[in-house]
Amino acid sequence: MTTAVPTAPARPAGRAWRGFGRLLTTETRVWLRDFAAPFFGILFPTLILVGVGFAIPGMRDPITDAPPSSVWYGLTPIATYLPTVIAMAVGTASLTVMPVTIATYREKGVLRRLSTTPMRPQGIVASHLLINVGITVVGVALALVVAQLAFGVAVPQHLGVVLLAFVLGLCAMFSLGMLVAALAPRASAANAVAMSLYFPMLLLAGLWTPGPIMPEVLRQIGQFTPLGAAAQAMTTGWFESGFPLLQCLVMVVWTAVLLPVAVRVFRWT
């Protein structure tokens, strides 16, 4: 004999989301109590930037072995590294933080229990999307301030292109993170899948070989990944002329494919 899981009666959409503000506040407080999530979401990108800038010789010296007509001539290597660090911040929140949180709530039955209350379980997902996007923006802003103060990084040549690439990167990577969160039955599974995607994407985004020293084969492959496309598009907007059309289209396609699939296959139990 099986026992049916009780479900709440149908609710008007407005009433179902009436307590969302309080839920968001509560989830933000709980999220901030976990040292790992705020550390990796806010501080980790800046620590990587500062560590690379001061620990690796030559990262603060102007590039002089490029042709004088090259866009890289006179820049510092740490400056060319900044778009990759921003892309890493996006990937960290979307793949290593949010899917594990949602999978933990599924594993512990939080999502199932919410289905019997006036607040829809979608509220949990929406709140953690907002939390992680907000923390990503804070982490990126901190990295930009430190980069300017510590290394004097130049402002982007085309700020609009950089902002567009950042937003598209957010959409594509959080769509991927939502797909992982939609399918992982447990936190351990979400973490394993996320890490298997996260580190190869960092390689293809140029974390170890940024900007002008990135091998061409990695550049060609990376431009078709959401994180690599974001890093390359921001690099183009920051230092180069022209518009990164291919990379932007890649991010749009990833979002258009992954987000509907994640919504369709999302499991509450």
pLDDT in tens, 29-78: 888 888 888 888 899 999 999 999 999 998 999 988 878 888 888 889 99
Task: State the chain's mean pLDDT as an integer.
Answer: 87
Is the distance from CB of 222 to CB of 229 less than 8 angstroms?
A: yes
- Looking at the domain assignment, is residue 30 inside a domain? yes
Residue 121, pLDDT > 70, answer no
Mean pLDDT of 83-106: 92
Residue partners of 134: CB distance under 8 A and separation at least 6: none
Domain housing 54: 19-265
- Looking at the domain assignment, is residue 248 inside a domain? yes
pLDDT class of 115 with cuts at 50, 70, 90: low
Residue 4, pLDDT > 60, answer no
Instruction: Lowest mean pLDDT of 8-22, 120-134, 166-180, 241-255, name the range.
Output: 8-22
- Looking at the domain assignment, is residue 43 inside a domain? yes
- Looking at the domain assignment, is residue 11 inside a domain? no
- Looking at the domain assignment, is residue 113 inside a domain? yes
- Looking at the domain assignment, is residue 260 inside a domain? yes
- Looking at the domain assignment, is residue 81 inside a domain? yes
What is the tally of structural domains in the chain?
Answer: 1
Residue 211, pLDDT > 80, answer no
- Looking at the domain assignment, is residue 69 inside a domain? yes
> Per residue in 54-66, pLDDT tens?
999 989 999 888 7
Residue 220, pLDDT > 90, answer yes
Mean pLDDT of 131-136: 92
